[in-house]
Copies of this chain bind each other. A is one copy, B any other.
Amino acid sequence: MKKLAIGIDIGGTNTAFGLVDENGDIFAESVISTEKYKYFSDYPKYIDALCEAMHALCDSVSFEFELIGIGIGAPNANYHTGEVVTPANLWRFSPEEQDPREERRVFRIAADIAAQFDGKMVAVTNDANAATIGEMVFGSAKGVKDFLMVTLGTGLGSGFVANGEMIYGHDGFAGELGHIIVERDGRECGCGRKGCLETYVSATGIKRTVYELLATSNAPSELRDIAYKDFEAVMVSTAAKHGDPIALEAFRYTGEKLGRALADVVALTVPQVIVLFGGLAKAGNLIFEPTKKYMEESMLSLWKNKVELIPSSIQDKNVAIMGAAALIWQKNA
């Protein structure tokens, strides 16, 4: 009988889920609102609604199949415990519910969903790790035992695989390459510290770099016409493709920061492949060329020209659902 896994991507607005086979093909998918269940006390109703919608999705499939498990990608998800802990944008205490100063919120999401699916295997991890496992099971890193995946979105996420296994770290929350400090007393980061890699290398980071360059340089630039609040990272790619000097310099600078950080990561973990993923990675050579150049320049000679830097091959597919389902397929391979 055909085997399928459910992959669930829990975002702040919506929760998308789909039935995924061993090749990463999605046979059916659906979505429910996450936002509708925004408060802490709404969480049990959210689980009921999600499980009901998943049962309906399974019933909608025209052939018989075996459901082998459910994988979930969610913010602040702990692989070891199956919990989601104090997510910033999910199930917050309402003003009536609790003093916001003591807000550790723990959601036993794996157990809660398993309870409504006959105790099927349910696994959770955070979004960056789910994407990493998706890349390992279905994408560019298929069969690669030691690799690093860098997700360049609003922030910078990372997933690290060694000896063919995802490294979740001692506490199950895995690593945060975006929060290594690359510039002492550098740019303010959302984490409360300064100079984190993601304040330079991310959609937000390149935007900050452009604004710094617009201030320090007199070069003409089409980017001078855009207000900070209207600015999107993709505008930098567009301008760079027109030969805009500010945009080109912003990519060079972003690649320099990323390439040097990657050389340090290589020194510590020696991956075979580094996969770049997410919005900024779509800029292609604009970001790959400077990153590669500075990575090789900074690399210990032992590893020079030995680590591949490649784009994700599942980039344009529904990675979040595929990656979450891959959590299950990985164990059934």
Is chain A's interface secondary structure helix, strand, loop, or mixed overall? Answer: loop
The CA-CA distance from A306 to B173 in the complex, in Å, is 13
A177 to chain B, nearest CB (A): 6
> Which residues of A174-231 are within 8 A (CB) of B?
174-177, 179-181, 191-193
New A-B pairs, 11, CB < 8 Å, besides A146-B170, A170-B270 = A162-B169, A167-B270, A168-B270, A169-B270, A171-B270, A171-B303, A176-B268, A177-B267, A177-B268, A179-B267, A179-B300
**Smallest CB gap from A172: residue in B:** B270
Query: A269: which of B160, B165, B272 is its contact (CB, 8 Å)?
Result: B160
B181 touches A298 (CB 8 A): yes
Q: How far is the CB of A148 from chain B (nearest CB, A)?
A: 9
Interface size on A, residues (CB 8 A): 40
Whole-angstrom distance between the alpha carbons of A42 and B271 in the complex? 35
Residue of A163, A264, A307 with highest tally of chain B CB at under 10 A: A264
Q: Determine the residue in chain B with the shortest Cβ distance to A306.
A: B171
Tell me if A282 counts as interface (CB < 8 A to partner B): no
Contact partners of A271 in chain B: CB under 8 A: 169-170
In the complex formed, the residue of B with least CB distance to A158 is B268
A192 proximity list for chain B (CB < 8 A): 301
| Nearest CB of chain B from residue A27's CB, rounded to whole Å | 32
Some 27 contacts from A to B, beta carbons below 8 A apart, are A145-B170, A146-B169, A158-B268, A160-B268, A160-B269, A162-B165, A163-B163, A163-B167, A167-B269, A168-B270, A170-B307, A171-B272, A171-B303, A171-B306, A175-B270, A176-B300, A177-B268, A179-B267, A179-B300, A180-B264, A180-B267, A181-B263, A191-B300, A192-B301, A265-B268, A268-B268, A269-B269
